[in-house]
Chains A and B, each alone.
Chain A
Amino acid sequence: MAATASAMPLPLGAREKGQEERALVQRAQKGDERAFEQLVRQHQQRVFGLVARVLHRQDDVEDIAQQVFLKVYLSLSRFDQRAAFSTWLYKIAVNECWDHLRKKKVRPLLYESDLSEEQVSQLDGIAALGRPTEGLDAHAETKDTLERVLEILPEQDRQLLLLKEVEGFSVQELADILGLNVNTVKVRLFRARGRIMEAQRRRAGASGLVKGPSATERKP
């Protein structure tokens, strides 16, 4: 039951797509640049999303994403197609991001969860000074609140949630990319969802404001 996602047979469309991709990879391995270009086009958005979510900084995303595809091209001859091309590609992307973070010796980010409610409230006030408060519609405000609550979450929770819910990675893909057990990913995702609501409540409590869907739909 636990590994339902991996054990489920692929739908016909997905199978055809997989075969098409295998053929493209084989052509690229034989030196067909057009086939490789097509692979880049097919995967660039997800690689871009993955790199952006892991780095959590916009500065180097494009450069790292390019570097990922260059590495893939250079080591394509060693790829034996035992795993899906996408899994292999995303693993390279994640490793490249980690290497980049290590080289830059990025300091651990300070999370709002480490701050007191008073400090969070003060930060909110400072941040609000730089943003236009009028003219923001409800949707934009909810998005803004969501982004700020995501900043509060621990790095791993934030990455998992965004990769799964926003960038569209499956649990199986996340497990393969991050080298985790499928059930571990599921549990982490489930807990991270709870934490995001908890973080939202803390913010609302700290600022005296109630934002987001939780405000109106809170269950007793």
Chain B
Amino acid sequence: MNAENDFANCACPEYEVMLEEYLEGTLENGAVRRLNEHLKLCDGCSHAFAEATEASMWLRQAERTPDPGPAFTHMVMTRVRTQESEPRASFWEPFVSLAWKFATTAALALVLMLAYAVHGTNPASPDNSVAATVSLQGDMQEILVAGQSTVPATRSDMVRMVTESDNAQQ
């Protein structure tokens, strides 16, 4: 923000702490003399100090937050007594709570895995196609051994070639 930078550039950075202490009245005497000499020479610092003094005076007009009064003390003590009368939470309570969360997550994961195992690995149409494929693979090996170089493109081609091979053998 420009406005901030403009102000920050006013005071020499190495004097900012001293200027604040001077404003608070906590600056040591020796440092006060040194700062006063600097303020005579440095327009930026003297301007910044004047502004800060003005701001402090202005801020004193803001109202301090009022004391909430005895009603607040009473409320606090009531809450304290209520808390006292309630059974204290066990040391293990957070761990037990965490363990329950883990157990629930693990159970859910197990259910999902089982569901996948049951439905995910079975083929959509449970027919004898696996057995048929194995049988056809055996026949194909015989065909290839017999010198057939043609590779069937489709399943019907393969069936036809197996049939022809059987007929030839007969």
Contact = CB atoms under 8 A, between A and B. Distances in A.
A79 interface: no
B54 A217 contact: yes
Contact of B17 (A44, A65, A150, A186): A186
A214 B27 CA distance: 26
B94 interface: no
B58 A2 contact: no
B7 to A, nearest CB: 4
Sorting the interface of chain B by its residue count into under 10, 10 to 19, 20 to 34 or 35 or more gives 35 or more
Interface string A157-170: 00001100111100
Contacts of A197: 7, 51, 54-55
Contacts of B18: 1
A183 interface: yes
A147 B65 CA distance: 13
A83 B26 CA distance: 23
A186 B62 contact: no
A202 B65 contact: no
Sorting the interface of chain A by its residue count into under 10, 10 to 19, 20 to 34 or 35 or more gives 35 or more
Interface stretch (A88-96, A122-130, A188-196): A188-196
Interface in B58-93: 58-68, 70, 72-73, 75-77, 79-81, 83
B150 to A, nearest CB: 72
Nearest to A142: B61
Contacts, number: 154
A47 B80 CA distance: 17
B2 to A, nearest CB: 9
A143 B61 CA distance: 6
Interface centre among B7, B21, B76, B81 (most CB of A within 10 A): B76
Contacts of A53: 65
Nearest to B72: A44
B8 interface: yes
Interface centre among A2, A139, A165, A190 (most CB of B within 10 A): A190
A190 to B, nearest CB: 4
A166 B64 contact: yes
Contact of A198 (B3, B23, B58, B76): B3
Given A1-B31, A4-B21, A73-B83, A146 B16 contact: no
Contacts of B127: none
A44 to B, nearest CB: 6
7 contacts: A33-B80, A33-B81, A44-B72, A66-B79, A74-B83, A171-B24, A187-B16
Given A66-B79, A193-B55, 4 more contacts: A8-B26, A53-B65, A69-B80, A190-B23
Interface of A: 1-2, 4-5, 8, 33, 36-37, 40-41, 44-45, 48-49, 52-53, 62, 65-66, 69-70, 73-74, 113, 139, 142-143, 146-147, 150, 161-162, 165-168, 171, 183, 186-187, 189-191, 193-199, 202, 212-214, 217, 219
Pick the 9 closest A-B CB pairs, nearest first: A49-B65, A194-B7, A193-B55, A193-B52, A186-B20, A165-B59, A45-B67, A190-B20, A198-B3
